[in-house]
């Protein structure tokens, strides 16, 4: 298995676990090369890096399929969400590519990820995390402290469940939830998502995180796809998954919650 018991406990406590080399380096570098081509920029010509961030929606060519299906990750998902609790994907989505720039990228605020769409198409988040089992942060370039590593608030996933409790299956509108989750987690320590191509940070769906401007010299390439669940979190079972245990811990509840959440 990919994760040790103490790594699983750290995931429950901190809201994320790093899986070094989850994707083989040659696969991660093949992904990076494809992302360069998709960006329209040249790796060896900084004059072509004219924007602080370029977002690429999704990629499903063989290296991305291989990255999404990397065995250590699938094992980690089984350990955190439960076997059969998540859906395999044929590729990866949302790549924020960040380039050295004095310009504000305009998208570096703290937030939790949205999980589901409401009746009006608006983005929402629910206590049982309908639509999102996990957030995965895949590194496709070397990322040091100056290279716009994603910032994560350690333990902030524990601050979110009480904001969702009582909101029912439809949960809450994403932006208004973030407006409360961000101040609620402001005192949490911050860690940076640094590492090597092929490292993946597997995060709790409620982890508060944010981008930042790139102050270094090497562009930062990553993906931040959801891991999509097959159902909703079971918070009433005698054996909750690690993701559900963290939600219960956030609620201060050892014995589970009622069916409506």
Ligand X SMILES: O=C(O)CCC(=O)C(=O)O
Distance CA 213, CA 98 (A): 8
Q: How far apart are the first and last CA of the chain?
A: 31
Count the alpha carbons within 13 Å of 152 in the hemisphere toward its beta carbon. 24
Least distance between ligand X and beta carbon 228 (Å): 16
Cβ neighbours, 10 Å, residue 88: 11
Q: Encoding tokens for residue 191?
A: 């860690």
- Among residues 39, 126, 150, 156, the one that binds ligand X under rule CB under 6 A: 150
Q: In degrees, to the nearest 5, what angle opens at C-alpha 99 toward C-alphas 93 and 101?
A: 140
Q: In degrees, to the nearest 5, what angle opens at C-alpha 134 toward C-alphas 75 and 28?
A: 60
How many chain residues interact with ligand X (CB under 6 A)?
A: 7
Interacting positions 64-93 with ligand X (CB under 6 A):
none
Distance CA 248, CA 117 (A): 24
Considering beta carbons, is residue 208 or 235 the nearer one to ligand X? 208
Least distance between ligand X and beta carbon 138 (Å): 11
Site string for ligand X, 155-194 (x = CB under 6 A): ----------------------------------------
Least distance between ligand X and beta carbon 89 (Å): 18
Considering beta carbons, is residue 220 or 245 the nearer one to ligand X? 220
- Does 211 help bind ligand X (rule: CB under 6 A)? yes
Considering beta carbons, is residue 140 or 245 the nearer one to ligand X? 140
- Among residues 52, 63, 85, 96, the one that binds ligand X under rule CB under 6 A: 96
Least distance between ligand X and beta carbon 32 (Å): 15
Distance CA 47, CA 10 (A): 42
Interacting positions 213-232 with ligand X (CB under 6 A):
224
Least distance between ligand X and beta carbon 237 (Å): 30
- Does 115 help bind ligand X (rule: CB under 6 A)? no
The torsion angle over the Cα atoms of residues 77, 160, 10 and 237, rounded to 10 degrees, is -60
Q: 209-210 and 92-98 as β-strands: parallel, antiparallel, unpaired?
A: unpaired
- Does 209 help bind ligand X (rule: CB under 6 A)? yes
User: Which residues contact ligand X by CB under 6 A?
Assistant: 96, 98, 107, 150, 209, 211, 224
């Amino acid at each position: 298995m990919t994760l040790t018991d103490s790594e699983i406990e750290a995931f429950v406590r901190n809201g994320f676990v790093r899986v070094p080399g989850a994707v083989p380096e040659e696969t991660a570098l093949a992904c990076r090369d494809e992302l360069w081509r998709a960006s329209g920029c040249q790796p060896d010509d900084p004059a072509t890096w004219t924007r602080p961030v370029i977002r690429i929606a999704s990629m499903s060519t063989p290296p991305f399929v291989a990255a999404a299906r990397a065995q250590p990750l699938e094992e980690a998902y089984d350990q955190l969400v439960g076997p059969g609790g998540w859906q395999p994907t044929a590729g990866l989505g949302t790549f924020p590519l960040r380039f050295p720039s004095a310009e504000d990228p305009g998208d570096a605020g703290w937030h939790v990820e949205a999980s589901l769409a409401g009746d009006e198409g608006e983005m929402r988040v629910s206590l049982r995390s309908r639509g999102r089992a996990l957030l995965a942060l895949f590194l496709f370039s070397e990322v040091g402290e100056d290279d716009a590593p994603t910032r994560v608030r350690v333990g902030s996933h524990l601050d979110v469940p009480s904001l969702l409790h009582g909101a029912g299956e439809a949960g809450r509108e994403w932006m208004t939830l973030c407006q409360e989750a961000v101040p609620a987690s402001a005192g949490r320590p911050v860690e940076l998502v640094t590492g090597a191509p092929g490292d993946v940070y597997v995060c709790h769906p409620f982890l508060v995180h944010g981008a930042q401007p790139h102050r270094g010299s090497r562009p930062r390439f990553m993906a931040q796809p959801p891991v999509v669940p097959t159902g909703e979190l079971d918070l009433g079972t005698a054996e909750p998954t690690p993701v559900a245990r963290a939600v219960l811990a956030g609620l201060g509840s050892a014995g589970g919650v009622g069916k409506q959440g």
